[in-house]
Each structure stands twice: as structure tokens, then as C-alpha cells.
A and B are shown apart, each in its own frame.
Chain A
């Protein structure tokens, strides 16, 4: 295979804020639980972490371009004090620079922040908020270990609106224990009624090392059947597209002009910086995931400083890069542009791809499109998306010979 062009230097940065009041039953992220009373203002653990995070940013080589997108994920970034958020953004801007239209997203959980916090975050530069709603039914929220109530959601959204947040995303989960289709329709309707610019709809994944992983088996009560969750997926697609949202990625919907620019970086297989415990980065073809444990992460930052910011990890091979491009690009509704693929991986690779997709095109999961910018291949919505792994594993096997 022809050697793919190295991606452009990163213009995106992900920052992991691994603190939560409690751990949700479905979550297997790197987080540390600080309890219901603690926030960035009071917690020594958070203060210390922010220091190390800033050290990591400073120790990381600037690869040349200013940041277009910044994403605070977690964890619960809304547990940071205003001063901490300001400090992190200041270090980032100082080190990499911000483009004029920089998108700064922050994940926030209902009930974890006051008006004063929000005002401070916005003043510091946050201009996109992703709110962890998950469901609108008290019993469902409790059953998955969330600390907030449906009222907290309404309060949080009202607060965000009053403070002028325009670019707002809500997260919902389908397939929660005891969730019915009626519950799901209600959640969709109430989410739409709040008029966010963006909605993420996640089908619950039962991860092995979570409370849910210990308690439940996918498709077995009290979890809805696979048939039911597949139907929830289709229902979300119908409701949200009817309400004017574009289904632009397997799990994401947006009003025109409000797709998450940061997350698109991942799906377009572009490079990005990553900072913090358990965070992944893709720089200079190196995909690297930081230690998930606090002490190990601190030690790693220490070593990074001594190694002048060089990460010890093999570069992605052309073959891996090809698989990444397929796996990520086919998540987007627009799919992959054949001209781009050919330029990057060569005609032979693309011919092989088209040949191996033929049978999926017959069964209606894959579409070949004629766009103004040229031919594209994409998965169909919703059936192609629902069976995307079947398509991908086939492509993986064809590729590995």
C-alpha cells in the first residue's frame, strides 16, 4: 500500500477532568469520586490534578497550529472552580494559541454548578456546553446511579439559556434498565422541547468492569431486549430528524451549523492533543493513551517533562491508518470521499474496498453517493448504522487478507 500522508498538526485538544460526585453504574471511564460535597474550590485532589495537567500541557511540544477546538470531558468538568478552568485555558492559549473562532466545549452535569460558576466558565471562553441529561424519568436516573433529578435538568437548561448559552448539546441514553419505549419517546420529546442545538443519543453499552456489567446481561431483563433497543434507535432517528436535527454521526444529531467540530476531528481521523489521566492523543501518527491511575499519570507527566515532551510509542502503520479511517469515517452520515481515500491510500486499496462493500450495498446497508465534491461511500440511516460492526469486521478481514 502506498504510504499515507501524515495528518496535519493537531488543532484540537481534549482535556480529561476525571472527577465525579459518584460513579454512574454504566461508567468505565477513568474517574475519581469526590463525594457530594466537594468541588474544585475545596478539593485538594482536584487542585493538585489541575497543576499536573497544566504541567503536561507545558511539557507537550507545540506542533505549529493554533487550536480550533478544545473539549473538557470527564468525569464532570463542571466540578472545576472558575479559577481552575481559567488557569487551564490560559496555559493552553499561551502554549498553543487559539484560532479566532475557537470552539470550547465543556461537559456539565445538572446539579453540579451554580449560576456564578457558569458565568465564570463562559467568561473564561467556554462557548459550547454538553449537558449530561441521560433520561427524564426519576426512576431511570436513579437506576443508573445519576445524582440529578428531572427538575435539575430543567433548572440547568434554564440557567444556561439565561446566561446566553446558544450552542447546547444534551446527552440521552437508550436501553437503560426498566426503560420502555414510552419512556424513551418521552425523553426524546422533552429533549426536543428544550430546543438544544445538538443531541447525542447513546445506546447503552454494558461494559464488563462496571456495576451494570456485574448486574446485567445485554438484552436480558431488566435491560430492554435487543429488538427493543434497535427500535429505540430507529425511533430517535425519526423523532429527531422530524424536529429538524440532522443525523450526522451514528449517535449524534445537530441543527444545521451546530455539529460538534471537536468530535468531527476524531471521525475524520485527524490528529489531536490529549491531556490528563486516561486521555488519548493522536500526534505525529502516534496514538497514545495516558495512564488511567492518578499516581501513574503523575509519574508519567514527570517523565514527559524529562523526555522533553517526546512520547515513547510506535507510529501508526499505513495499514492501521487505513482501518482507523474506515472505522471512524463510516460513523459519519456523509461517509468517506473516494477521492480523498485514493489520494491517501491508493487506487488498489479503494478498488478492493468497493468490491468488498458490494454485497452490503445489495442488502441496503451501504450507499454509494454522488456528491458535488465527488463520489462517497456511506452507511445507510438507520439500518446501515445499526449493523455497522458487521460491515466493519468484514472490511477488517478483507484488509488483513
Chain B
């Protein structure tokens, strides 16, 4: 690796909405700078995880160091620090932006600015980043660069006279982008002489080398063999391996202020080297850590129970392994009278929750029952004690509580004008408080609501997408707790309360939710040889009730030569469906029933 002076380093990230072409552009930059040969180029080099590729989103960050000879003949080192593209991971975005001096704002020239992009641009502006607007997909017939430029200027207030017209796919505008990075993005401050401070912007667990930490050296110098201290966790390690990402790991002996790299130091779990923590030298520690470190706090909770009780230990092991690599994942054992042993898990958001569930089922081959997501409620008891409740079944009885507060978020949506009505209706129906509406440009509107987080973590995002035919986008951030008249809605199956089905709802919606919930459960729970009452109750008061009629027969009338194969398939399908049932007392309940509260019309 060539040693370059700080003045010829440029650190930048790319801000873009899903599908606006971030990964393609990143790939193209790697290719044009010769960092990755065309032969090595898998499509979308930076999205490594199988799930990321499938969903077309970036979950874990990556970084890449590129050598670039500018048109001025100078050798530059360009470090691209990738950012995850989802609202659940905004803390990680802020840390990777803090490691940069500039950002490419990539906007699809046929679409325009989306809510998530906007949120990230504001984050970048907070960090004083130089922002270079790039209009991507300029080759598409629907491209409207002038309209989109106008939109960026109006919405963000960013001068777009110098915006680069590009097509990452076709290789248009790539050199211009590289030159702009060199000329517009400021070099890092030259603080090589100061005490070491390096910012961790990502880490992952490697079973052979321990945690691999990705960092940006902000001040000073770091050498292989140095003893380092992580300022937030206070832990000390000796560096076994130091290197840069090009984008594959290449070992070096030393990194100095301005450079981006990775290290391995036999760190056992990612929570020991959290994103945002500051690395300093144990022998000559910096006096203060870099600003901005917080521990990512889970916002959404759910119970995870193995369908088969024998898988409990497997589930524990799988969660332990995932946690090595995911500091934001929290879990603790949960025992439910209905479900047996499982775990209460905390996630950054719904996507994070889905990803973890999917990985558990896919990579660890577990059959799981997931209970409906819940948020953390703040309950004040009669004795003035404040409790944080992440599990509806743990809510103290009404006579013991003074008040319940629930987390609120500000939701910003950007939508074509014609969907404003239906999105307002959606927000109102979810107890939203209207805050603001702005016409951005012709046909595009921002809509701001304050909503209880509990209403957002159900199917708000899916509803927003389907009501706007996929055109609207949203972003949310927590704004605090508010008191509301909330009640616990219990569900009784065959007379027995089923705690994982309990949910906390607004008093005014309780009757409606209870009725819809028992109707949905009636649909989802198969018939048994006996009649099964299903009831929704608040305290001891039944507010809705249905019953599943008894099964009177289950028999194949005909089975002759020609029927055998088909009838067997039928039975096999029926058998498979049965297998995924969870026995609650004498009633077998399918997995979907535990998510029923999310599927109410």
C-alpha cells in the first residue's frame, strides 16, 4: 500500500435511497479506479450478505480504499465508506458519516428525493460534510434531470448547478464524480502528531480472528502490535492484524490520521467494540473520546419461541452467535405459560427484527413462533415507581398503575400529491397527530405526523407502500413519551388466557381491535374435535367473542388407483400444516395466529 500524505486522502460516503443505484455506482467506482478488476466484479460488490442481495438493501457496512490518479497527475487515496440504507440503522449511518468529509448524494433522475435520503442528507449536513449531488440513471427514458435538480434545490436547499449527470450502469459521469471528490471533498485535518483517536464505524465477528473492527483514524497513528484501549468499554487489546480494505483486506503495518482501515485484536464479541466507540493507545491515551457515541437501544420487542420445545437450547446458541455480530440485538429468557420457554428479544426496528428472525430460521434451521411486536411502555405505579414494560403480559393491573406512557415518533413521508389523502387517512386511523404538510415541487409533498410508535411498528410501512402504490417513502425518529389511556387486551382461547396474544391498545380502539382479533383467530386456528371459544377481554370484562365449531369429520371419501398419489399429497400437506402448530393447552395454534394483531383490517 502506498503511503500518502493526509492532504491527498478523501473520505466520502454515498447517500441514496433504495434502488437509486448506490451499489451499482460503488461497484463502478471500484472498477474504474482499478481497485477491483472486471473479472473479480461480482455484481454489487459491497452488499455481502445473502439477505442483503435478496432484498437489495445494505444492512452491514463495508468500506473500500481506492487509488486514483487525478487529472492533475497526483496520486490520491479515496476511501468509500458505505452506509446502511434503512431507518432502523440511522445510528450506524451517523457514525459512518462522522468518519467522512464528503458525501455523494445520489438521486434517481427519474424519481426524485425520498424521505430516507432526506434524513441522511440532514445527518450529513450536521457533520459538515461536503455534499456532491449526482443524478443517476440519466440514460433512462423517464429521466427528468431538471425537475429532480429543482427538487433537490427546493427540498434540501443544495445548489445543483454543479450536479453531475451520471449513469452508473452505463459508466456515464464516473470520471467527473471522481474528480469532484478530489476537488470538492476537503482532505482530513492533518493531526498525525496528536494522540491516537480512531472512530469505529462498523465491526463484525469472524470465528477465526475475533471481531474485525472497521475504523477511521481521526488523529495520530496506529501500528500493528500497538496496545489499544476502547474508550467506552474500557477494554484493552493488542493489535494482531492491521490493514486496509481494497475492498478485500490487505495488511499494512501502520495507519495514520485520515486513513480508513480494519484491525483484529482477539476481541470476543462486537459489543466489546461497538460502533461509535473511540480507539486510543493504552500507553498514550487521548484525553477525551470522539463525540457522538451512544449505545443503540432496541425499540421493538417480541417473543421468540421454538415450535418444538426441544429446540430451546439451539435457539439460545443461535442468538448468542448472532449477538457476536450484532451489538443492537438484545435478548433475555422469557417463560410463558402458553408457549413454554423462549426469549424476549429487542430490535432496532421492524426490519432488524425480520432480518434476525429470518436468519434464525434460515441459517440455524429453527422453527420459531414470533409474537406480535411491542414497544416499551413507561408505567408509573401508584407508589410512584416508574417501570419500563416491553411485554404486554407484564403490564401491572389497572388498580396498581397511575398512568401509562408510550413512545411517539415523528414520521416524515414524501409522496406524490395524489396519495396525500389516503396517507392522511392512514395516519389518522393510527392515532396520528398532523404536524405539517409541504408541497415540495410540482406533484410531490411532504407529510409530517406524530404517531405512537406502537402504531408504526404494526403494518404502517406496508400500508403506506400499498396505499401509495409504492411511491411514498418514510422516515421516523423517536420524539419522546406521551401519556394515553391505554388498556391491556387479553385473548382467551378455550377459556384460558394466552399471554403471547395479549396486546396494549388505546381504550377507544379496544372494542374494534378485540372484535377484529377474535374474528381473525377464528379464521386462523384449525377446527378441533371440540368447540373452541375465542374471547377478547379487558380485565374480567369480555368485549368480543367467537367460537370455532367442532370438526365433525375428516375423511377422504374416494381412494382408488388413480387417486392414490394425489390424495397422499393432500394428506402430506395437511400433515405438514399440523406440524407447525403450537399446542396451547388442548388447542393447536398456528404460527400466524401470534401475528394476527398485525393483520387486522
Contacts and interface: CB of A to CB of B under 8 A. Distances in A.
Contacts of B568: 323-324, 327
Interface stretch (B8-16, B170-178, B469-477, B547-555): B547-555
Contacts of B554: 386-390
B559 interface: yes
Given A229-B553, A400-B575, A331 B562 contact: no
B522 to A, nearest CB: 15
B208 interface: no
Interface string B559-577: 1111111011001101110
A212 to B, nearest CB: 14
B552 A230 contact: yes
A287 B564 contact: yes
B555 A202 contact: no
Given A229-B553, A328-B564, A202 B574 contact: no
Contacts, number: 104
B560 A263 contact: yes
A192 interface: no
B565 A278 contact: no
Nearest to A12: B561
A190 to B, nearest CB: 21
A397 interface: yes
Interface of A: 14, 16, 29, 73, 202-205, 226-227, 229-230, 233, 250-251, 263, 265-267, 272, 274, 278-282, 287, 289, 323-324, 327-328, 331, 385-390, 392-394, 396-397, 400
B564 A324 contact: yes
Interface in B231-266: none
A216 to B, nearest CB: 16
Contacts of B564: 266, 280, 282, 287, 324, 327-328
A356 B498 CA distance: 28
A272 B561 contact: yes
- Interface hub of B562, B568, B575, B578 (most chain A Cβ within 10 A): B562
Contacts of B560: 73, 263, 266
Contacts of B541: none
A274 B562 contact: yes
Contacts of A282: 561, 564
A352 B364 CA distance: 28
Contact of A389 (B552, B556, B562, B563): B556
Contacts of A274: 561-562
Interface in B310-335: none
Contacts of A272: 561
B255 to A, nearest CB: 53
Nearest to A392: B571
B540 interface: no
Nearest to A251: B557
Contacts of B575: 392-394, 396-397, 400
16 contacts: A16-B562, A202-B557, A203-B557, A226-B552, A250-B557, A251-B557, A267-B559, A279-B561, A287-B565, A289-B562, A327-B568, A385-B555, A388-B554, A389-B554, A392-B571, A396-B572
A79 B544 CA distance: 59
Contacts of A16: 562
Given A263-B560, A289-B565, A327 B571 contact: yes
Contacts of B559: 250, 266-267, 327-328, 331
Contacts of B558: 202, 205, 251
Nearest to B568: A327
B220 to A, nearest CB: 59
B553 A230 contact: yes
B478 to A, nearest CB: 45
B409 to A, nearest CB: 43
Given A29-B562, A265-B561, A396-B575, 16 more contacts: A205-B556, A230-B552, A233-B553, A251-B557, A251-B558, A267-B559, A274-B562, A323-B572, A327-B559, A328-B564, A386-B554, A387-B554, A389-B556, A393-B574, A393-B575, A394-B578
Q: Is the interface of B mostly helix, strand, loop or mixed?
A: loop
B526 to A, nearest CB: 11
Chain B: number of interface residues, binned into ranges: 20 to 34
B421 to A, nearest CB: 37
Contacts of A289: 562, 565
A228 to B, nearest CB: 9
Nearest to B559: A331
Contacts of A324: 564, 568
Interface centre among B561, B575, B579 (most CB of A within 10 A): B561
A204 B557 contact: yes
B479 to A, nearest CB: 49
B529 interface: yes
Nearest to A393: B575
B365 to A, nearest CB: 14
B140 to A, nearest CB: 43
A386 B555 contact: yes
A263 B553 CA distance: 24
A203 B574 contact: no
B562 to A, nearest CB: 4
Contacts of A388: 554-556
Given A230-B552, A274-B562, A280-B564, A397 B579 contact: yes
Contacts of A233: 553, 555
A327 B554 CA distance: 14
A389 B555 contact: yes
A287 B568 CA distance: 12
A227 B552 contact: yes
Contacts of B553: 203, 226, 229-230, 233, 386-387
A265 B559 CA distance: 12
Interface in B130-177: none
B367 to A, nearest CB: 13
A397 B588 CA distance: 15
A386 B553 CA distance: 5
A108 B382 CA distance: 82
B381 to A, nearest CB: 47
A250 B563 CA distance: 15
Nearest to B555: A388
Contacts of B579: 397
A386 B551 CA distance: 10
Closest A-B pairs by Cβ, 3 of them: A396-B575, A393-B575, A389-B554
Instruction: Identify the interface centre among A282, A289, A327, A393: most chain B CB within 10 Å of its CB.
Output: A393
Nearest to B528: A390
A205 B560 CA distance: 14
